[in-house]
Amino acid sequence: MSCLPVRRGDVLRTGQPLPGSRTSRRNIQRPAGRVLYGMTGPNAPDVAPPSLPEVLSGLVATLPVTYLAAWVSVLRTVAFPDGRTESRLIAAHPGAGLGPHASLLLSAWRATDAQLPGSALALALEAASNRYEQDLATRHVEIAVSGPVSDAVSIRLTASVAIQVIRAASTTLLITSYAAFGVQEIVSEIRAAADRGVSVDLVLETARASGGRLFGDSDGRAAFHDLRFHPDVHLWQWANDERQGPGGRRGSMHAKIIAADRNTALLGSANLTDSAYSDNLEIGAVIRDPGAVASLVDHFSNLMHSADGPLVRLPWQPPS
């Protein structure tokens, strides 16, 4: 779904560093003589590849849990790293930018112990992923990004965090976005949430033909069209006659939120679009503070359900 930039002090052959996961790289000294891939020239020092533990740490801090689960499944069926292992990993859960991750894992695997069974590597990757998720649960605020990354702070990809928040919902899920296009993995996660009994409220900006501010004839309803018959998925819009601001200008529904129950929320600049989740420079924050998240959810609930609330139900089918 997303173009996956890379993270941590681990490095790719392309020369782009993998930014840090749980511990800031500012407090970690690189081993003497270690340099990044991609340094060239007559004075370039020898390159020391990242170790297998470093690569595994970088992967669990970078890839969405669905990608990691797919790779674990493949590795369990691999005896030793061979010529097909890399292509099998990429095909297990296709996504742009996965090739360098798979190549780096295979290189570190062979360099560490080419006789190490794939099942052992799968167990290590799964254990690292589980521990990483446990550590995340103890944080109150976590940064999420799309686009360019740095190794100055501990960050995660917006797509990975969005999936994590949606999966955390057990009763309610509030999602708002100015624009929505593509994001099929997010749509699938919303459907899975609704199938397990979660009540989903989608608040979207609409096209000008429907009283909104988006140019063109279509809006975010097209992205969620496959959910139109699900009884637990509800569409909302800011009513056209409620948009007049104090300055006489009409407002836009510009909030971008994914809130699971009353406990966890992702707030940020990214719309629900493939570009926002992969190509654009976007920033967001996950808040794990029940008091703050409950206030946020209550605010939107009041806008939806009060007698004169400005948010009204949005028909699935735009006007013809």
For 102-141, write each residue's pLDDT tens digit: 999 999 999 999 999 999 999 999 999 999 888 877 768 8
Mean pLDDT of 191-201: 98
Q: What is the pLDDT of residues 135-183, one digit of tens each?
A: 877 768 888 889 887 766 667 889 989 999 999 999 999 999 999 999 9
Q: What is the pLDDT of residues 246-281, one digit of tens each?
A: 877 889 999 999 999 999 999 999 999 999 998 999
95-100, long-range: CB within 8 Å, 24+ apart, which pairs? 95/1, 95/2, 95/3, 95/4, 95/67, 96/2, 96/3, 96/4, 96/278, 97/3, 97/4, 97/5, 97/6, 98/4, 98/67, 100/6, 100/12, 100/13, 100/14
d(CA 221, CA 180): 8
244: confidence class by pLDDT, cuts 50, 70, 90: confident
Give the model's pLDDT for residue 270. 96
Structure tokens belonging to residue 256 = 């971008």
The SS3 assignment for 204 reads: strand
78 vs 153 pLDDT, higher one = 78
CB-based contacts of 263, cutoff 8 Å, min separation 6: 168, 288, 290, 293
Its pTM surpasses 0.85: no
